[in-house]
Amino acid sequence: MRHPMSSSTPSPTPLSYKDAGVDIDAGDALVERIKPLAKKTMREGVLAGIGGFGALFEVPKRYREPVLVSGTDGVGTKLRLAFEWNMHDTVGIDLVGMSVNDVLVQGAEPLFFLDYFACGKLDVDTAAAVVGGIARGCELSGCALIGGETAEMPGMYPDGEYDLAGFAVGAVEKSKILTGQDVRPGDAVLGLASNGVHSNGFSLVRKVIERAGSDLPETLDGQPFRQAVMAPTRLYVKPVLQALAQHPVKALAHITGGGLLENIPRVLPEGTAAHLEKGSWPQTELFAWLQRVAGIDDAEMNRTFNNGIGMVVVVAAEHADATAETLRAAGEQVHRIGAIAARGEGAAVVVA
């Protein structure tokens, strides 16, 4: 004979999303912290920003034939040092810089930016510091932070760690897109100084730090060691847009992964090469230290790192001085680092 199930069987303990590791209240608190930061980045064209399901942006009417230019990137293994050294307030600037500097290379003005912040457990203070850097980068670039995503994913990331991705959209007049096709032998190559390593080459930087052990310099280039290593990507947008408005710039190259040797060729037409003059820009203490401890030659430095030059500008020789002066007046350190030459068969595209 079967017995009916007892009505006194205890019910299972309810499980909430918070029990599963996702704290909705923390996410809401972060959004409230972000809103005033994002508000400082607002500019013409923003119709609806953070808080909705999608952000709305109207291309400014001053463009006659606007072409949209987009770019996306992350910060890479520089984040490992941010975790280890508890330095979270500038990696957001790196995130913005990696995308807006790329968009700029086509001659475009960055219009808006969206970010993606993913973690295992959301720490509101850490996330707010990161997003504060993102907002600062957008503000310095004249770019609106109009949306993003915070993803709390238990079990996906160790405690205290996170990942970042970003996405920028810019606009350029169709007739003013920079393609590099007008670059000719004899043109001047100008280099704009970097802030340091920026966001590329950190797998090697971390190996160098590991090799150095406790024998680390106290300061480099007038900054405490960690600040020098973590200096954020330089934002070239406003000075370069000013130069583009005043001078017939032929090409721009953002010096990211692959360094000078692999990024300059991306904007050169077939049959041309860039001849860089060794010693035409100073090597900083930071890069000298990295080269010495790593034990690598100049070619490897120029292929792994920006090595002190974060953006390259190609102009006709007769416009080089005036272009450099405009950039210097806007706050850039400018060096004439070489010239464009005809490329022989089988020759390197960049000769440093």
Beta bridge mates, 276: 338
DSSP 305: S
pLDDT tens, N- to C-terminus, the chain (352 residues): 444 545 566 667 775 657 556 667 777 788 788 788 878 888 888 887 677 788 889 999 999 999 999 999 999 999 999 999 999 999 999 999 999 999 999 999 999 999 999 999 999 999 999 999 999 999 999 999 998 889 999 999 999 999 999 999 999 999 999 999 999 999 999 999 999 999 999 999 999 999 999 899 999 999 999 999 999 999 999 999 999 999 999 999 999 999 999 999 999 999 999 999 999 999 999 999 999 999 999 999 999 999 999 999 999 999 999 999 999 999 999 999 999 999 987 677 787 7
Q: What residues pair up with 274 in beta bridges, in sequence order?
A: 340, 350
The residues near 150 (Cβ < 8 Å, ≥ 6 apart) are: 27, 30, 31, 117, 118, 119, 122, 127
pLDDT of residue 52: 73
Q: What is the DSSP letter of 109?
A: E
**Under 8 Å between Cβ of 59 and 111:** yes
Strand segments, DSSP code E, in the chain are 46-48, 56-57, 66-74, 109-119, 144-152, 162-173, 188-193, 219-220, 223-224, 251-254, 272-276, 309-315, 334-342, 350-351
pLDDT in tens, 230-263: 999 999 999 999 999 999 999 999 999 999 999 9
3-state secondary structure of 18: coil
pLDDT value at residue 19? 56
Is residue 259 within 8 Å of 169, Cβ to Cβ? no
DSSP 315-345: E-GGGHHHHHHHHHHTT--EEEEEEEEEPPT
